Structure 1
Amino acid sequence: MTNTKSVDKAINLDDPKYYFNRELSWLEFNRRVLAEALDKRTPLLERLKFMAIFSSNLDEFFMVRVAALKKQMAAEVTKLSMDGRNPQQQLEAITETLTPMIEQQHQHFEKVLKKELTKSGVYLLNYVDLNQEQRTYINQFFEDYIFPVLTPLAVDPSHPFPYISNLSLNLAVVLKDPFLEQELFARVKIPQVLPRFVTFPAELSQKHRGKDEIWTGVPIEQIVTHNLEYLFSGMNILESYAFRVTRNADLSVEEDEADDLLLAIEKELQKRRIGGSSVRLEIEASIPAELRSTIIQELALEESDVYDVDGLLSLGDLMSFLGLPLPELKDEPWKSVLPPRLSWLKENEEEESGEGQNFFNVIRHGDLFIHHPYHSFSNTVLRFITEAAYDPDVLAIKMTLYRTSGDSPILKALIAAAQNNKQVVVLVELKARFDEENNILWARKLEKSGVHVVYGVTGLKTHTKITLVVRQEKEKIRRYVHIGTGNYNPKTAKIYTDLGLLSCREELGADLTDLFNFLTGYSRQKSYRKLLVAPVSLRGRMIEMIDREAENCRQGKTGRIVAKMNSLVDQQIIQALYKASQAGVEIDLIIRGICCLCPGKSEISDNIRVISIIGRFLEHSRIFYFHNNGKEEIYIGSADWMTRNLSRRVEAVTPIESPEIFKDLQEILGVMLADNRKAWELQPDGSFVQRKPKKDEETRSTHDTFMEMALQSAGISPN
């Protein structure tokens, strides 16, 4: 065993070489997303989906993370990242890392995926490849549907360079006035209100080896390009090139100075629509150098901000192909099942009546564990809230809403509860990035319906996922709780993996009461009975439990930690894990995205292993297991081990005390650690290597395994 005292003295854990850069680690996560698009084992349309996700992820990365680094540079911030880079060095590293990835993405789409689509009867054609009949149809379509929407904008001394809106697709058009013999420049914005890919009617479809087409279409920007004469009558069209701009889209609200947070957020959203400074330019690689330089200069960008694209821009639009009627080219549809205890309830609810068939009765008989999307969200969480809304014995409902769908049945249930004279309190997080506008809309709708809406604690973002239901039962008031890892969103609950606990344990009910008093009033609760709450106690308690494992090892006992989360960034947590590894604690981390910890480094992290699982569902749940010298503890909740979660957000993590649920969570961790199909292992140099089944070894894929387990628990035979 390592002599920890000498190691602690000899090794400086603040040394930048022991940390990966946060931004570069995120790019490695997105590289794993791209790998799913390149993997021939992934169904074809799912590969297009991952192509689209890769692009959409990058859009948000530039709008937020790159924009933040640029603002730091403008403010001459000199603070270094954990890995010792200043903002300029981070931006340079981002460009160096990302340029070949983007080139690989576009080459694979143009040279591989488009050909495979053709073999399956899906023809994404270029305008130049259309036959005469198809051109006639497309040109008429342009006149009828596209032309009326377009607005060409000239650029000359009396017409300054137009504002280019965020993420819009544009054409840079070079024209020549035949009378003045003068070259002119104009910009045409491709309308986002029309489909990106225009579909041909069946009679104009392609044929391939006698097989009828499923879909034939052409990109809208190519249609506009070949009909520019309609926009510039009397001019000679010399050339045109597509380009796309990404802008800073982060909000900046001084909460202390905002009398009305909702109005302040609305004003910031208006600024976002107008747009912040440019942070990225994507442009056709064939554009002439002079025109390219003009656009770069007008957008106040540097050469390093430009990404040349050989092929279609804005591949996030490929997501639309998932709507094609080609089930053989997609993952098999998954229909969530009921947890076994609720399956019994469904079978018997028509035979029995009264309190015995009440959803709350199920919870009173023991904590209920839910694992989405394997377990149904609608028939568990939504049912819990809906029954509470209509149950005459329910007195109050309190919940936090971070992200939800605009048409969510949860909102309807909360409105119904208020109309049924229940006390309904909803904390709406207006600062949930890119959901601010949606949150404002339904916050107002809730308020108009009599729901008490609050916007959280000044200076903190409320990220916790909790619901408290207060119910009158005979002579007693009982509190029911839901504590989860994911948003109350029925749509994302079908594609995100998340966990939830439904319980009526008195201590949890009391803790949630105190937490809601903190969120809605002036309470400054400093301790909780069971919950670990950020920013009050979560970081300190997590570090205590990590240190406890280390101390057990120093005393010759066993030390073991398994933690699953989205991201690991917090330096204090990382250093505690390094010290635990030095003491001999065996540590397995399952981290979907960013990981700033370096595993497998001699005398630092020899005992730490990190894997990432990327597949058909987005891994979103958080689980924390500690061996505790045989008195094992396990927790679930809303927080990652990131500084923002531990210091600048309200989070709640709950211990699991039910032996059955404890075993379920251990099994979940075990399945993921054994994955040899979708798991990637983080290497000491920051790269990832995908696991492969060994010879004669059975393939173990996390999401497939959990789907099979869910079907078996529901008594359904897998196909």
Structure 2
Amino acid sequence: VLPELEPIMLGDSRKLPVLNDESLYLGIDIKSGDQYHYAVVEVPTDRLDRFVQIPKRKGRGGKVFIVLDNIMRACLPQMFRGVLPITSVKAYCFKFSRDAELELDAGITQSLIDKMERSLKQRRKAEAVRMVYDAKMPERLLETLRAEFGFGKYDSLIPGGRYHNSKDFMGFPNVGPKYLEFKPLPPIRIPRLDEQPNIFDAIKEKDVFLYYPYHSFDYVVDLLKTAALDPSVTKIQICLYRVARHSRIIDALVNAVHNGKKVLAVVELAARFDEEANINWAQSLTENGIEVIFGITGLKVHSKLLLIERREEGQTRYYSHIGTGNFNEKTARLYTDFTLLTHDQNMGKDVDAVFDFLRYTYKQPDFRLLLVSPINARRGLMELIDKEIDNAKAGYRAAMTLKCNNLVDRELVTKLYEASQAGVDVRLIIRGMCSLLAGVDGISENIRAISIVDRYLEHPRVYVFYNRGKPNYYMGSADLMTRNMDYRVEVLAPIFDEDAQGHLQDILDQQWHDNTRARILDREQSNTYASPAKKVARIRSQESIHRYIETGKLPRYPKSTMSKPATRRRKRNSK
């Protein structure tokens, strides 16, 4: 460990070098006679494991690990040997955060890439705005760090425990019995795609509905690889937001250009904390002959679109990919996401219109099927909710299921309260932020909300409206947030295939009846776990969904509202 440590002495008017705000540091308090000296040293988790296994000793069973921070504490006297006569030396963990907002000037003399690169350099040296530290740190050391980092009295200095960067525990080795580990859930193959020699024929025959990581992301990679080689394919257009470090998607796009295809890539340079990687990808794609554009100033392109144009019988035919997640092989193994592959030509024309909107910003697009932010997505969702409100007021059963990451848009929250008060049954599956309070008498008594956090990160955005027994299903990239409705290019697509609708409904129903990993978002905001009633089997939706996709078998739970007939309710006597 010792050769990896590079302590920095503080004070004496020395200028503190730029420290990495993603790293963990030890603040060192050195007493030398009657004087105190201070230093900082990075905990080098980028080069060494945070958890180090200690060799077995005779007579000691089990496995013993020591935290890298504590090894460093043991090294402190050696670290300063010959530098200072040490009376005592102690170390305390701390980490800090810089202002991560990118400031892009409005000048026209620089390209967008140049502006982004300049802003990224500024981010590395941005002001520190927050520090979390060991509460046992002496006040004299804390004040020295405060002065060195330039913290003001309004900045956040938060006392905490002895250890920080808990995310490192994600890499803690599995040392216990096998039953303590998650059982592997291998991706399930789709025979219809595996048996069809050409994936385009399979998509033309019937829409393909994928659900990662239960299905393999390889199907999308194979689609692009096939398109790169297929002599009938003339053009590929794609939106790239976050891609894997070693991306087979990028490889396939480059190969397509080498095989004479036209390729357009919309690269979002402002994907938060992936800006530098996306700048590098944009430059690499351009060098390989791919046309790269950056979308519309002031609008972040968050859509998950792929459009392949193919000549068939003398005509151009569209094959569309619309998804809820990124074109990223790594996150497709960790996040749950839906993908729709369709040969629907009206859908393809709409997807093509989205790319035209991004390329020719002066054109006003007209979408037949898609809900696209910031053009018609807000209006479209409000109209779908209003239709359920009208049905409820007319005495029909009315219901909706909304699944997304965050629900915080004031206008949509207000509209959902209105729906509840009209008698619409509203089910919310919200993983993250939810500004709506469910179950409040007279306001939201017909709204129920849950949140599921489990081994995979729940990432899809799906919106289902009962529509008098003929449900409308939408899926795509847009959360119910103001930024997604008004300040990003997002796409929500309708699902028409009845089998895909059925699968999606079964998946949503299993999540709604999860009584193991679901929390109930109630008006008290207690967020307690849902628990099974007596004689009701436990349902852990992520495991039951894998079993369902593999075998077609569903767990036992009450029938979904969405599959009930649209009977008209008997009107109450007004007296």
* TM, length-normalised to structure 2: 0.91
Q: Is the Cα contact below 8 Å between 2:464 and 2:474 reproduced in 1?
A: yes
Task: Give 3-state SS (helix, strand or coil) of 1:661's partner.
Answer: helix
Aligned to 1:306: 157
Separation in 2, partners of 1:707, 1:199: 35
Deviation readout 1:411-443 (Å, 9 max, x if unpaired):
000000001110000001110001111111111
Aligned to 1:368: 208
Deviation readout 1:463-508 (Å, 9 max, x if unpaired):
0000000011122221100000000001100111110111111101
Q: Once structures 1 and 2 are overlaid, which stretch shifts more, 692-701 or 192-201?
A: 192-201
Aligned to 1:516: 355
Which amino acid in the other structure matches residue 180 of structure 2?
A: L
1:194 equivalenced with 2:33 (yes/no): no
Task: Give 3-state SS (helix, strand or coil) of 1:459's partner.
Answer: coil
1:259 equivalenced with 2:110 (yes/no): yes
Aligned to 2:9: 153
Q: Is the Cα contact below 8 Å between 2:357 and 2:364 reproduced in 1?
A: yes
Q: Is the Cα contact below 8 Å between 2:7 and 2:39 reproduced in 1?
A: no
Separation in 1, partners of 2:69, 2:460: 39
Aligned to 1:170: 25
1:606 equivalenced with 2:445 (yes/no): yes
Cα deviation for residue 258 of structure 1 reads 6.5
Q: Is the Cα contact below 8 Å between 1:613 and 1:619 reproduced in 2?
A: yes
Q: Once structures 1 and 2 are overlaid, which stretch shifts more, 546-555 or 236-245?
A: 236-245
Aligned to 1:394: 233
Cα deviation for residue 529 of structure 1 reads 1.0
Q: Is the Cα contact below 8 Å between 1:296 and 1:303 reproduced in 2?
A: no
Q: Is the Cα contact below 8 Å between 2:324 and 2:475 reproduced in 1?
A: yes
Of the three residues 471, 477, 480, the one matched with 2:316 is 477
Cα deviation for residue 325 of structure 1 reads 9.1
Q: Once structures 1 and 2 are overlaid, which stretch shifts more, 539-548 or 628-637?
A: 628-637
1:29-178 matched pairs, under 5 angstroms: 141-142=1-2, 145-146=3-4, 149-156=5-12, 158-160=13-15, 163-178=18-33
Deviation readout 1:390-429 (Å, 9 max, x if unpaired):
1111000000010111211010000000011100000011
Separation in 2, partners of 1:417, 1:626: 40
1:239 equivalenced with 2:89 (yes/no): yes
Aligned to 2:565: none
Separation in 1, partners of 2:73, 2:146: 23
Taking a change above 3 Å as real, the CA distance of residues 546 and 268 of structure 1, as seen in their structure-2 partners, is same
Which amino acid in the other structure matches residue 24 of structure 2?
A: L
Of the three residues 434, 446, 449, the one matched with 2:288 is 449
Q: Is the Cα contact below 8 Å between 2:241 and 2:268 reproduced in 1?
A: yes
Cα deviation for residue 323 of structure 1 reads 6.8
1:292 equivalenced with 2:142 (yes/no): yes
Separation in 2, partners of 1:315, 1:610: 29
Aligned residues: 550
Q: Is the Cα contact below 8 Å between 1:242 and 1:284 reproduced in 2?
A: yes
Aligned to 2:558: none
> Which sections of structure 1, spanning at least 5 residues, go unmatched?
1-140, 346-356, 715-719
Separation in 1, partners of 2:360, 2:212: 32
Taking a change above 3 Å as real, the CA distance of residues 209 and 153 of structure 1, as seen in their structure-2 partners, is closer
Separation in 1, partners of 2:23, 2:491: 39
Separation in 2, partners of 1:588, 1:627: 12
Q: Is the Cα contact below 8 Å between 1:256 and 1:458 reproduced in 2?
A: no
Q: Is the Cα contact below 8 Å between 2:31 and 2:86 reproduced in 1?
A: yes
Aligned to 2:36: 183
Aligned to 1:279: 129
Aligned to 1:711: 550
Separation in 2, partners of 1:193, 1:483: 36
Of the three residues 568, 588, 591, the one matched with 2:427 is 588
Seq. identity, %: 35
Separation in 2, partners of 1:258, 1:398: 29
Separation in 2, partners of 1:523, 1:504: 28
Q: Once structures 1 and 2 are overlaid, which stretch shifts more, 446-455 or 304-313?
A: 304-313
Which amino acid in the other structure matches residue 8 of structure 2?
A: P
Separation in 1, partners of 2:228, 2:177: 41
Q: Is the Cα contact below 8 Å between 2:405 and 2:460 reproduced in 1?
A: yes
Cα deviation for residue 200 of structure 1 reads 4.9
1:490-529 matched pairs, under 5 angstroms: 490-529=329-368
Which amino acid in the other structure matches residue 117 of structure 2?
A: E
Separation in 2, partners of 1:679, 1:646: 27
Separation in 1, partners of 2:198, 2:75: 64
Separation in 1, partners of 2:49, 2:329: 27
Task: Give 3-state SS (helix, strand or coil) of 2:388's partner.
Answer: helix
Separation in 2, partners of 1:237, 1:171: 19
Q: Once structures 1 and 2 are overlaid, which stretch shifts more, 225-234 or 487-496?
A: 225-234
Cα deviation for residue 604 of structure 1 reads 1.0
Cα deviation for residue 620 of structure 1 reads 0.4
Q: Is the Cα contact below 8 Å between 1:403 and 1:432 reproduced in 2?
A: yes
Deviation readout 1:338-358 (Å, 9 max, x if unpaired):
23422443xxxxxxxxxxx21
Taking a change above 3 Å as real, the CA distance of residues 547 and 360 of structure 1, as seen in their structure-2 partners, is same
Task: Give 3-state SS (helix, strand or coil) of 1:686's partner.
Answer: coil
Cα deviation for residue 568 of structure 1 reads 0.4
Which amino acid in the other structure matches residue 157 of structure 2?
A: V
Taking a change above 3 Å as real, the CA distance of residues 588 and 387 of structure 1, as seen in their structure-2 partners, is same
Cα deviation for residue 550 of structure 1 reads 0.6
Separation in 1, partners of 2:410, 2:59: 57
Task: Give 3-state SS (helix, strand or coil) of 1:381's partner.
Answer: helix
Separation in 2, partners of 1:409, 1:592: 29
Which amino acid in the other structure matches residue 204 of structure 2?
A: R
Taking a change above 3 Å as real, the CA distance of residues 576 and 258 of structure 1, as seen in their structure-2 partners, is farther
Q: Is the Cα contact below 8 Å between 2:76 and 2:89 reproduced in 1?
A: no
Cα deviation for residue 184 of structure 1 reads 2.4
Taking a change above 3 Å as real, the CA distance of residues 385 and 258 of structure 1, as seen in their structure-2 partners, is farther
Taking a change above 3 Å as real, the CA distance of residues 701 and 229 of structure 1, as seen in their structure-2 partners, is same
1:655-670 matched pairs, under 5 angstroms: 655-670=494-509
Aligned to 2:72: 223
Task: Give 3-state SS (helix, strand or coil) of 1:287's partner.
Answer: coil
Separation in 1, partners of 2:489, 2:108: 21
1:380-391 matched pairs, under 5 angstroms: 380-391=219-230
Task: Give 3-state SS (helix, strand or coil) of 2:538's partner.
Answer: coil
1:569 equivalenced with 2:408 (yes/no): yes
Separation in 2, partners of 1:237, 1:524: 74
Taking a change above 3 Å as real, the CA distance of residues 482 and 207 of structure 1, as seen in their structure-2 partners, is farther
1:323-334 matched pairs, under 5 angstroms: 327-334=178-185
Greater RCO, CA 8 A, separation 6+: 1
Task: Give 3-state SS (helix, strand or coil) of 1:227's partner.
Answer: helix
Which amino acid in the other structure matches residue 273 of structure 1?
A: R
Cα deviation for residue 292 of structure 1 reads 2.4
Separation in 2, partners of 1:254, 1:267: 10
The structure whose residues are more often helix, as a share, is: 1
Which amino acid in the other structure matches residue 76 of structure 2?
A: N
Separation in 2, partners of 1:289, 1:633: 61
Separation in 2, partners of 1:304, 1:438: 30
1:5-20 matched pairs, under 5 angstroms: none
Q: Is the Cα contact below 8 Å between 1:174 and 1:184 reproduced in 2?
A: yes
Task: Please give the root-mean-square deviation of Cα atoms over the aligned residues, in Å.
Answer: 2.2
Taking a change above 3 Å as real, the CA distance of residues 228 and 260 of structure 1, as seen in their structure-2 partners, is farther
Separation in 2, partners of 1:225, 1:257: 55
Which amino acid in the other structure matches residue 390 of structure 2?
A: E
Segments of 4+ moved more than 6 angstroms: 323-326
Separation in 1, partners of 2:58, 2:469: 66
Taking a change above 3 Å as real, the CA distance of residues 640 and 695 of structure 1, as seen in their structure-2 partners, is same
> Which sections of structure 2, spanning at least 5 residues, go unmatched?
554-575
